[in-house]
Amino acid sequence: MERKAVRNLRLCTKDCLCLYVCPTGASDTEDSVIDVDRCIGCGQCADACPSGAISLVPVKYPRQQEKDEDVVSSLMDLAASRARQEAIAEAVGESGDREGLRRLALAIARSSRISAEDLVREAGFMLPQSDGAIDLLRSLVENPPVSFPVESARRLVSLLERRR
Amino acid sequence: MKYICSICGYVYDEEAEGVPFDSLPDDWTCPGCGAEKAMFDPQEESGTGLAGSFERHVSGVATMTKLTPAILSIVFSNLARGSGKQYQGEEERLYGEISSYFSSICDGEEADLGMLQTLVAEDLAQRFPAALESAQERGDRGALRARLWAEKVSRIVSSLLSRYGREGEAMLEGRQVWVCSVCGFIHIGDDAPGMCPVCKVPGWKFDSVS
C-alpha cells in the first residue's frame, strides 16, 4: 500500500532527525509540512522522530462503512436543524449592539457548523475522495445551479479521482 | 441522592456536599462544564424514560429527502476540512469555495433568539431521540458517537441561551467565549478548559470568539 508521511506540528519539537534520515529532502520545508510530491513513503522519518510527530498515511483510503438509510436521514434531519441554527445565530451576532450577545451568538453559529459537519460525516460524507463525494460533485457539474463554480468543481473532481 | 450532569458527567453528591441539590442557587453552574442546574438529572433515574420518549416523538419527525443549499454548504465545508487534514491544500480551497457558494444562496434567517431556542429544544425533544433509535437499531457506533456529542453540545447551547435570558450581558462581561473546534462545545471563562468535557480533546483545540 502506497503511503506518505505527515507531520503533526503540535507534537514536533524540531529535533530534526527526520531531516537527517530523509533520502529525498521531503521533510525539510519552509512551512514544516512534509512535501508530499517528494515523499516516497519509506517511513525512515517516522522511525527516527523522537517526539512521535510523524505518521504514515495511505495515499488511497478504504471506502467509508455502509450507512443505513434511516440512520442517514435522522442524522441529516439534525444537521439541517443545526444549519438553520447557524444562520439564525449569525443573524443575531450581526444585529444589535450588545457585545456579549454578539460573541455568544457567533460562538453558537460556529458550534452549530462544527456539530453539523460531524453529523454529515457520519451520514456518509466522511472522506473527501470517496465515491459519494465525487458523484455529488459530478452531478453538480452536469446540472449546475445558477452561478455555481463549475470550473472549480471540475478541477476538484480531477484532483480527487487520482486518490479515489 | 446524587445528581449527574447530562453534558460532562459531573456528579453532585448531596451527602458529600452537605447541601441539597434543590437548595443550590438558580445561578449555580456545573463545576465541570458550566452547564446550568437544569442540565442535571437525578442519578437513579438515568437510563429510564427514554424508550417512552421515542414512542411519543419519532413519528413526528420530518424526514429530509433532499440536499438543500444549507446542507450542501455543511457537506462541502466538512469535506474541505477532511482535505486539510490530509494536507491537500488545493482540494481544501476548492471544497471551501463550493461550500461558500451554497452558503451564499441559502434563504436568509431572521435574528430571532426565540426561534433559535425553539429549534434547539425541538432537537433535544425529537430529533436526537429519533437518531438514537435508528443508530441503536443498526448498531452504528459512529452515528451513536456523533449524535451523542451533538446532543451534549445542544444542551450547553440551550443552557447558555437560558442563562443569557436570566443574567443578560453580565454573564459575558470581561469573559471570553471559547468554542471547541472538534465538537463545538462552548465554554465561558478567562481561559479555555484543560480538556473538552464533551469530546476530551486538549484545551488548545478551543478557539476564542472575538
Same structural domain, A96 and A136:
no
CB A134 within 8 A of CB A141: no
> Considering its fold, how many domains does chain A have in total?
3
From A58, A77, A102, give the residue that closes a domain: A58
Q: Rounded to an integer, what distance in angstroms lies between the CA atom of residue B191 and that of residue B177?
A: 9
pLDDT at position A129: 92
Give tens-digit pLDDT for A125-149: 999 998 889 999 999 999 999 999 9
Give tens-digit pLDDT for B177-202: 999 999 999 999 999 999 999 999 99
When pLDDT is averaged across residues B126-147 and rounded to a whole number, the result is 95
Neighbours of A38 (CB within 10 A): 15
- Does the distance separating the beta carbons of B177 and A104 come in below 8 Å? yes
CB A59 within 8 A of CB A74: no
pLDDT at position B54: 32
Query: A147 in a domain, yes or no?
Result: yes
Mutation target vs A (from B57, B58, B75; most A CBs, 10 A cutoff): B75
Name the helix (H) or strand (E) containing A80.
Answer: helix A69-94
Same structural domain, A51 and A79:
no
Query: A117 in a domain, yes or no?
Result: yes
Same structural domain, A100 and A137:
no
A114 inside 8 A of chain B by CB: yes
pLDDT at position B67: 84
pLDDT at position B44: 72
pLDDT at position A113: 98
Residue of A40, A14, A16 lying closest to A26 (CA atoms): A40
Q: What is the CATH number of the domain that holds A38?
A: 3.30.70.20
Chain B residues within an 8 Å CB radius of A73: 63-65, 134
Same structural domain, A54 and A99:
no
Is the model's pLDDT at B65 over the cut of 50?
no
Give tens-digit pLDDT for A79-124: 999 999 999 999 999 987 899 999 999 999 999 999 999 999 999 9
pLDDT at position B87: 82
Under the banding of pLDDT at 50, 70 and 90, the label for residue A153 is very high
Query: A14 in a domain, yes or no?
Result: yes
- Does the distance separating the beta carbons of B172 and A100 come in below 8 Å? yes
Same structural domain, A37 and A80:
no
Chain B residues within an 8 Å CB radius of A156: 91, 94-95, 98
Query: A109 in a domain, yes or no?
Result: yes
pLDDT at position A158: 96
Give tens-digit pLDDT for B18-31: 999 999 998 899 99
Query: A51 in a domain, yes or no?
Result: yes
pLDDT at position A76: 95
Same structural domain, A77 and A113:
yes
Rounded to the nearest 10 degrees, what angle do helices A69-94 and A99-122 cross at?
160
Same structural domain, A11 and A34:
yes
Of A108, A137, A160, the CB nearest to B157: A108
Query: A88 in a domain, yes or no?
Result: yes
Under the banding of pLDDT at 50, 70 and 90, the label for residue A59 is confident
CB A89 within 8 A of CB A109: yes
Using CB atoms and an 8 Å cut-off, which of residues 30-59 of chain A contact chain B? 33-34, 36, 57
Query: A74 in a domain, yes or no?
Result: yes
- Does the distance separating the beta carbons of A147 and B177 come in below 8 Å? no
Q: In this prediction, what percent of chain B has a pLDDT beyond 70?
A: 90
Give tens-digit pLDDT for B89-136: 999 999 999 999 999 999 889 999 999 999 999 999 999 999 999 999
Q: In this prediction, what percent of chain A has a pLDDT beyond 70?
A: 100
Query: A64 in a domain, yes or no?
Result: no
Mutation target vs A (from B83, B94, B152; most A CBs, 10 A cutoff): B94
Same structural domain, A81 and A108:
yes
pLDDT at position A163: 80
Range of the domain at A154: 131-161
Same structural domain, A53 and A73:
no
Q: What is the mean pLDDT of chain B?
A: 88
pLDDT at position A96: 78
Between residues B185 and A67, the one the model is more confident about: B185
> Which residue does chain A place closest to B157, by CA atoms?
A108
A109 inside 8 A of chain B by CB: no
- Does the distance separating the beta carbons of A115 and B164 come in below 8 Å? no
CB B79 within 8 A of CB A89: no
Measure Cα distances from A79 to B71, B76, B95, B185 in Å. Answer: 7, 13, 18, 16
